[in-house]
Chain A
Amino acid sequence: MTIVLMAETKNEVKFSDAAMADIQRYISHYPEGRQKSAILPILHIAQAEFGGWVSPEVMDKVAEILDIEPIEVYEVATFYTMFNLKPVGRHVLEVCRTGPCCLRGADQLIETLKHKLGVEEGGTSADGLFTLKPVECLASCGTGPMLQVREKFYENLETEEQVDAFLEMMRKSGVETPYHQAAYQKS
């Protein structure tokens, strides 16, 4: 699986036109010569474009676009926890594991997901659909326990039935990148 994905990205790291336009827009937000500032938004765009993770080849492409050294991209991508550096399942379940959510059952939510998906923390389910990634506080403490998938929060996941319904919904759902959203407009 890993090898196939690597080969795919190696052959062609090409952003869609919509993504490229967005990348240029972010670069334009910074003064002349400060284009490196746009690295985080571009890495987010890259991750959405190329299967939910950023491979070394994708990072090299980002360096090329920003006209900086590849190491400058690697050191940033490895510092920020949102960037996945290995292939992931179709849906990455980023479950909050921090204090306030734990007061309302986050530990149980993580255990339930582990059991239902047959994975350990950080693992991907055998069908390739789900990666379980416990994360720290997501600013949703009043609506915990909760998790995030891409740009969406799923909150108040208190009962096993709710978890089942959530997983069922995700199984049927494909991956939407930001470029499919009507709300996404040029500012």
Chain B
Amino acid sequence: MGLKILTEHINVPGIETLEVYRKHGGYKSVEKAVKTMTPEEVVEEVKTSGLRGRGGAGFPTGMKWSFLAKPEGVPRYLVCNADESEPGTFKDRWFMERNPHALIEGMITSSYALGANTSYIYIRGELMFILRILEKAIAEAYAAGLLGKNILGSGYDLDLHVAPGGGAYICGEETALLESLEGKRGNPRNKPPFPAVKGLFASPTVVNNVETIASVPWIVNNTGAEYAKVGIGRSTGTKLISASGNINNPGVFEIELGVPVEEFIYSDEYCGGIWKGKQLKAVVPGGSSVPILPANLILKTTAGEGRLMSYESLSDGGFVSGSMMGSGAFIVFDEDQCIVRNTWNYSRFYHHESCGQCSPCREGTGWMEKVLHRIEYGHGHQQDIDLLVSVAKQIEGNTICPLGDAAAWPVAAAIRHFRDEFEWHIKYPKEATAPGAVYRGQLDSVTA
């Protein structure tokens, strides 16, 4: 059992209430920060901790905070990104549902560090039941003097509100989120200006993921230096992993970064191995937009080293033989899963979720979906594989926001590692479309 920074008390009955939460040390970081530390000192601790953004990009949080512009007389905002929509990711939902005060505590301490007097939690609209849990917890915090005017007698004021989205993956992109929070369509903004300079209501704004913000109280209570001792190398601290797919124990696990991937998949403490006694075929380790890796490459790097659950190890080999940590959504495929079908499914997702602003993404995602659909349903042409590679290449890097990349990467990676399987679908359409047919690794084999 590793150190539990985020989930130590998550199963305590009643932890969703202020009373029980405080009994287990809750809101200590608020007390410490507003009464004994300057905002700059809190930022410094977060910088020292090496904490990286847990929403997917992995950008150092302390550095992001230090970019925040502080012009005189202009309000600053902290916005929590709780628009968890990346396929495979459900850690934030799981966490907020069980321990809402932990996020609220993080919001207060972080808002203090940034000098924000109004902060928002933007939660995806489908999670309205969690919005109600958060609003209830916020009301308790107001009543206890932890929110509102003059928090704990310190002279610091903070209002915290929850805002629901309306069902749009794109609003997880921070500038689309800000547009949505202003009551508009979720079209990402051109950058610069970055939100740190011109964000919500044209004011300096920091947008952080739920898990990132929830990690701040521990850092403030125990120091950044202590946090930096947990984990491995530049992957400091712990991470919530959403494990899904064909495993025995799907769910959310808090790991110290650096746990071997093999242990994570097969140990009963985590995924508990592949279900129904089947073999591992592939893993998407960081949410649907990161490259898929076949079993051999997820377990070991090309240098033969065991791969670890860390930002660096998962991306070892670049996109040729590696992938990414992303949001920590670990999607496991057993031997009976069809990579072509899965890639088509993801492409349909990105086509559905493209905001339509940039033509490479708007047109390209639809094109890829159509081509993958015809391959999956037995009408593919030999040149379709190269066509997909070419379309993916033309989307990547040519759009305002990273949704284009997110749509291109899974297609490019599936073809890179499973090209045979695509060819088999095209060459033997009748066999490939038979019910339950799966490619077993021999291109010229016609037996399903």
Chain A residues in contact with chain B, CB under 8 A?
Answer: 29, 31, 34, 36-41, 43-44, 66, 72, 75-76, 79-83, 94, 97-100, 102-104, 135-144, 148, 151-153, 178, 181, 183-187
A residues less than 8 Å from B244 (CB atoms) = 100, 103-104, 141-142, 144
What 0/1 readout, one digit per residue, does chain B (208-239) give for beta carbons within 8 Å of chain A? 00000000000000000000000000000000
In the complex the two chains form, is B139's CB within 8 Å of A186's CB?
A: yes
Is B329 among interface residues, defined by CB-CB distance under 8 A? yes
In the complex the two chains form, is A29's CB within 8 Å of B161's CB?
A: yes
Contact of B136 among A81, A100, A183 (CB under 8 A): A183
Is B182 among interface residues, defined by CB-CB distance under 8 A? yes
What 0/1 readout, one digit per residue, does chain B (313-335) give for beta carbons within 8 Å of chain A? 00000000000000001011100
Is B87 among interface residues, defined by CB-CB distance under 8 A? yes
In the complex the two chains form, is A142's CB within 8 Å of B87's CB?
A: no
Contact of A98 among B84, B87, B245 (CB under 8 A): B87
In the complex the two chains form, is A41's CB within 8 Å of B329's CB?
A: no
A residues less than 8 Å from B32 (CB atoms) = none
Within the complex, what minimum Cβ distance (angstroms) separates A16 from chain B? 18
Given contacts A44-B164, A136-B353, 8 further A-B contacts (CB under 8 A): A34-B183, A36-B184, A40-B125, A66-B183, A72-B183, A79-B355, A83-B166, A102-B345
In the complex the two chains form, is B349's CB within 8 Å of A151's CB?
A: no
Size bin of chain B's contact surface: 35 or more
What 0/1 readout, one digit per residue, does chain B (332-345) give for beta carbons within 8 Å of chain A? 11000100011001
Within the complex, what minimum Cβ distance (angstroms) separates A84 from chain B? 11
The 4 closest A-B pairs by CB, nearest first: A80-B166, A82-B167, A141-B244, A142-B250
Within the complex, what minimum Cβ distance (angstroms) separates B6 from chain A? 17
In the complex the two chains form, is B87's CB within 8 Å of A137's CB?
A: yes
In the complex the two chains form, is B349's CB within 8 Å of A99's CB?
A: yes
A44 to B183, CA, bound (A): 13
Q: A36-B182, A76-B185 are in contact. Are A99 and B125 (CB under 8 A)?
A: no
Contact of B250 among A43, A44, A143 (CB under 8 A): A143
Within the complex, what minimum Cβ distance (angstroms) separates B228 from chain A? 30
What 0/1 readout, one digit per residue, does chain B (155-180) give for beta carbons within 8 Å of chain A? 00001011111111100000000001
Contact of A151 among B129, B136, B169 (CB under 8 A): B129
Q: A100-B245, A142-B244, A187-B142 are in contact. Are A40 and B250 (CB under 8 A)?
A: no
Q: A36-B182, A103-B246, A142-B244 are in contact. Are A80 and B168 (CB under 8 A)?
A: yes
Q: A139-B85, A139-B124 are in contact. Are A44 and B167 (CB under 8 A)?
A: no
Q: Quick one: closest A residue to B343, CB to CB?
A: A99
A104 to B353, CA, bound (A): 22
Question: Which residues of B292-332 are within 8 A (CB) of A?
Answer: 329, 331-332
Contact of B129 among A104, A136, A152 (CB under 8 A): A152
What 0/1 readout, one digit per residue, does chain B (110-143) give for beta carbons within 8 Å of chain A? 0000000010100011111100100110110010
Contact of A139 among B90, B245, B246 (CB under 8 A): B90
In the complex the two chains form, is B166's CB within 8 Å of A99's CB?
A: no
Q: Quick one: closest A residue to B185, CB to CB?
A: A79
Within the complex, what minimum Cβ distance (angstroms) separates A137 from chain B? 4
Contact of A141 among B89, B125, B161 (CB under 8 A): B89
Q: Quick one: closest B residue to A73, CB to CB?
A: B183
Q: A29-B163, A99-B87 are in contact. Are A138 and B349 (CB under 8 A)?
A: no
Contact of B288 among A97, A99, A151 (CB under 8 A): A99
A72 to B185, CA, bound (A): 9
A143 to B168, CA, bound (A): 21
In the complex the two chains form, is A141's CB within 8 Å of B242's CB?
A: yes
Q: Quick one: closest A residue to B342, CB to CB?
A: A99
B residues less than 8 Å from A37 (CB atoms) = 163, 181-183
Q: A76-B183, A99-B342, A100-B87 are in contact. Are A151 and B128 (CB under 8 A)?
A: yes
A residues less than 8 Å from B349 (CB atoms) = 98-99, 136-137
Instruction: Name which of B164, B167, B168, B201 has the most chain A CB atoms within 10 A of its CB.
Output: B167
Question: Which residues of B55-94 are within 8 A (CB) of A?
Answer: 75, 84-90, 92-94
A residues less than 8 Å from B353 (CB atoms) = 136
In the complex the two chains form, is B166's CB within 8 Å of A43's CB?
A: yes
In the complex the two chains form, is A38's CB within 8 Å of B135's CB?
A: no
In the complex the two chains form, is B88's CB within 8 Å of A100's CB?
A: yes
In the complex the two chains form, is B85's CB within 8 Å of A41's CB?
A: no
A99 to B347, CA, bound (A): 10
Within the complex, what minimum Cβ distance (angstroms) separates B14 from chain A? 15
In the complex the two chains form, is A76's CB within 8 Å of B124's CB?
A: no
In the complex the two chains form, is A136's CB within 8 Å of B135's CB?
A: no
A residues less than 8 Å from B126 (CB atoms) = 82, 94, 138-139, 148
A residues less than 8 Å from B332 (CB atoms) = 103
